[in-house]
Structure formats: structure tokens, C-alpha cells
A and B are shown apart, each in its own frame.
Chain A
Amino acid sequence: MKKPFALIIEDHVHTATIFSAALKQVGYETKIVHDGLNAHDTIKLMSPDVVVLDLHLPHMSGEQLLDQIRADERLTKTKVILASADPLLAKELEQDADLVLVKPISFDQLSLLSRRLMPESE
């Protein structure tokens, strides 16, 4: 069976590593992107099942990337987990995201929640 694929867009290297480990633990295959422009290109080429999206990114904001994902017809099934240190901004974008997490986000918490978003669990 093909593993579900998760794209992690997070500029802080260690935080990204932890997110990746949490998702791998519950069975995802992961790819990490550290800046907004790279993320923009990657989204065009790939169809992730889950995107973990940080809102403060270099070169291009998480908000713009979220709009891009929601506008792409290929990605209608893609689940988006917003990870932000700014609770007010996160609240504003709540409607467009499948899950909103306010940093700091624990490994255990992310593992638990991402398991629920697995395509099989639908």
C-alpha cells in the first residue's frame, strides 16, 4: 500500500524535523521545505495528502500558499494543518484550514492529530 504523503513547510529546521518525525511515526512519507518560494514550486509539482503549513515564512507567506492550495483543483483532497505562533492570524484563517495548531506544538500532539487526518480514516 502506498504511504500517504505529507509536505512540511516550516522555516525553523528543528521544528520541521520534529514535525516530520511525528508524521513519519504514524505512517506518512514526508518532505520538508524551508521557504515560501520553494514551497510554491513544490506544491505545483506534487499532490500531498497533508500539508503542515507555517504562516511566517521567508519570501512568500503561508497565507498566500494556503490560497494557492485552495485554488488548485488537483488539491481538493489535501488536508492543511496550520501551525502558527500568532493565535490571532491563525484564527482568521481557521475557515480555510482543516486544523489549526498554535505553537509551540508538541510531537505527541501532532502525531495524535495527524493520525486522524490519514486518508484511510475517512
Chain B
Amino acid sequence: MTSVISNFIRNQANDPDENRRANLLNIMLLGVTGINIIILALLLVTQFSVEANILPIGIGTLAIVGITYFINQKISGPIASALFLVLLTIIISVSDLPEEIIGGRSLFLFTIPILLASVLLKPHYAFVMTFFVGIVINVIAWRNGLEFQFLSPVSLFGVGLVAWLSAKSLDDALRELRLINLELDQRVENRTQALQTANIQLQEEIDVRIKIERELVVMRDQAVSANNFKSELLARVSHELRTPLGAILGYLEMLRAKIYGSLELQQEETINTIIELNQDLTRLVNELLEQARLDSAEVKLENEMFSPYQLTESIYNRLSILADNKGIKFNWVYDQNLPDQLCGDMQHLRQIFINLVGNALKFTEDGFVELKVVNVDDLNWGIVVADSGIGIPEKDIERIFEGFQQVDHTYTRSRGGFGLGLSIVKHLVSLMNGKISVESEFGKGSKFMVHLPKNLKEAVR
């Protein structure tokens, strides 16, 4: 029912003000139709006992209402409104005695079309309507032989003024409201658009990140497999190199042992040189093999009891020959506070000793190399290797524990080695939960300090 009524009322005008007015007119027409029907129904019930000519007036009104509605919906709202107002004025003008209508008790009825004109048409039509009503009043006066009316149209003009003012302010308020609404709509639209743009950018960014992440995973896998391949290749190559190197050394020693007959002095010297070179080469290959083994995490530490004194002594005995050959003073200091037995991996400790002392001897031309084994505290012991060798420039100290680093390549080339010795030491020390540090002055010497747990088993548990 409500939807039927609202469908009846709705008008399709484009201008919102015109639309509002046309809708208002439709409501009026609906009201008039309702009142008409009620009156006609009452007439039927009371058997036309009042005035018989009301019936055709009622039916005529209905017909005019229908036509007005048609004009309002299909042709023009303002024309329909004007028609309705004229009709209303005519109805009012015959609704009472002429003298009452033009200046008596029913004069106020004319305020209705004036007020309606201001809202159904434009606000200033209140004045037009007032003027029209003034004419109507005087026409009625003239037709009925009454006096010319001036005061009543003027008083109605006051009503017209009020109607104009209120309708105008209503119009202005509505217009302002519409503007606000429009601005709000625009704002919502802008916000929505900005959000959409931000959303698209965000999605693009996410896509880019996902892509980068995928690429990173691929690159990481490639790097890992390349590293594994490198370690494996290195290990295999080193292993394959060691066998023929061993054989070459063996044949050279056989030659030197004169298994294949006697030798000239120069031949013997040459063989000795080749043997030395072969030993250098073997050492390099061993370094590579050890690094590859450390890289591929194959190293497993042993936990065994050993005598630190015997270990230090055997290292000293083994390396003092090298020091004698170079004419370097090599001495060792052993801290008597150290316990007789320590727990650790003797094989790898031996390697730490040999690499540190071997390095010191390698990089010292004259002066001294000193090996100290010290009792650090209840839990730790330490190895200190000091020399008066070439030292390390300050800028290079951070890098010396990385693989393949020799500080001054031109100077150290003659000393051989891949510079893996310290890298291996560092790796082993950290596997044993120890610490290594270095102090050095370029041109004056270096001092390497290693701290290791007295009980490896406890320390790496």
C-alpha cells in the first residue's frame, strides 16, 4: 500500500527542486482526492439531503485533479501546480457567502493558495498569487455589487511576504544541504578512489616482494649447492692430487737413496730441491683438503684426555728444526699451574698449534718466535704465539681469519700457502667453543692468543 502511494507520488523531473515540488503537488492532489471521496461517500450515506449540486462539483473536482496529475507527471510540474492553485482559489471563492469571502470570516482561506504557491511554485509566486487573489476578491465584490476591496488584499500581501520568506529560506537550506551532500559524495568518492589506488599499489608491492622472495630462495639454494659442490670438488681434487704427489716424493726419495744407482753432487742437490718443492705442494693440498672438510661440516671433535705438556713438547720438537734452519730463536714457556690432563681433541689441537707456530716461523725472517701455554682460569687454558715477524697492517687485521687471505700478496708470495692456515685455526677454535684474538704492529711482530675450555666435553655439550 505504502509503495503504491509512494509510486503515485513520485515524479521523474530532473531538477531536484522541481522534483520536490511536483511530489508535493502529488501529495496535495492525493489529499484533495481523499477529502472529495469522503465527502461524496457522506453524501451517499445521507441520501443527498444537503445540496444536490455538490455531487457534480465533487465529480468535476476529481476529473480536474486527474487532469492535473496527468499534466504534472507527463507535461510540466509548474503548469499543473498553477492549474491546481487556480482551481483551489475558485473552490475557496465559492465556499462561503461573497461578503464573508472578500473580507469576513472566510478571508483567511485565501492564505492557503498563497502559502501553497510559495512551495509548489517558486517562492516569489507567493506575491503573484497574492495579486491574483486580490483580483479574484475584487471580481467577486464587483459581481455581487459590493464595495471595492483594498484592505483585505493588502493584509493578504503580508501573508505572501511571510510565505515568500519561509519558502525562500527552505529552498536555500535545501540547496545548501544538497551542496553539502554533493561535497560529501565527492569526498567519499575521492577517498574510495585513493583507497583503491593505495590498494593496487600495495598489491603490486606485495607481488614484487613475493617475486623477490622466490628469487632469493632460488639464489640461496644455488649458493648452497654451489658451496657444497665446491667443497666436494676441492676434497676430491685434493685427494686425487695427494696420491701422485706422494708417489713423486717416493720416487725422488728412492733416487736420493741411490736405489737406481749413484748420483752426481748436482743431481743430488736438484733432487733435494724437488723434494722440498714437493713437500710445499703437499702442504698446500693438505690445507685445501682441511678447509674443504671444515666447510662441508665433516669435522667431528673427539673428547679424549691428553697431557698438555707432552703436546706442547712434541710440537716444539717438531717445529724447532724449521726454526734452526731459518736461524730464528724459538723457545717455549709452559705454565706449571696447568693440570696434568685436559679433555679435548688432540689431533685438531695439534693442528691449531702447528698452524699458529708454523705461520709465525713462516713470516719471521730474524728475531724470535715464542710459544706460551698458560693457565687462564678454572675453566680455560690458553695458547699464545708471539713473533718478531712482518706483522699485520691495522686495516687487514679483521680479514686475516678469512680463507684465502694473505695480507701483502707480493711480499708473501715467496712464502707459499693459500692463507688458509688462520682460517682453519679460527674454525677449529670456534668449534671447540674457544676464542682467538690477535695483536700486531706492522713491521714489528704479531701475537696470537687462543682461549680454550679445559674440558671440551662440558663446553660443547
Contact = CB atoms under 8 A, between A and B. Distances in A.
Given A85-B239, A106-B253, A107-B257, A18 B347 contact: no
Interface string B238-279: 010011111101110110010100000000000000000000
A47 interface: no
Nearest to B286: A104
B157 to A, nearest CB: 121
Interface residues of B, number: 16
B212 to A, nearest CB: 43
A119 interface: no
A106 B83 CA distance: 130
Given A87-B347, A103-B242, A104-B242, A15 B257 contact: no
Given A104-B282, A108-B257, A111-B257, A18 B239 contact: no
A85 B253 contact: no
Interface size class of A (residues with CB under 8 A): 10 to 19
Interface string A14-53: 1101110110010000000000000000000000000000
Contacts, number: 52
B344 to A, nearest CB: 15
A22 B244 CA distance: 17
Nearest to A83: B246
Nearest to B243: A12
A79 B13 CA distance: 119
B253 A14 contact: no
Contacts of B239: 85
Contacts of B243: 12, 15, 85, 103-104
B257 A106 contact: no
A14 B245 CA distance: 11
Contacts of B253: 18, 106-108
Interface in B221-244: 239, 242-244
A89 interface: no
A25 B253 CA distance: 12
B250 A15 contact: yes
A105 interface: yes
A17 B282 CA distance: 20
Interface in A92-106: 103-106
A85 B253 CA distance: 20
Contacts of B245: 104
6 contacts: A15-B243, A19-B250, A25-B259, A103-B246, A107-B249, A108-B257
Given A19-B250, A87-B347, 6 more contacts: A18-B247, A21-B254, A85-B243, A105-B246, A106-B250, A107-B250
Interface of A: 12, 14-15, 17-19, 21-22, 25, 85, 87, 103-108, 111
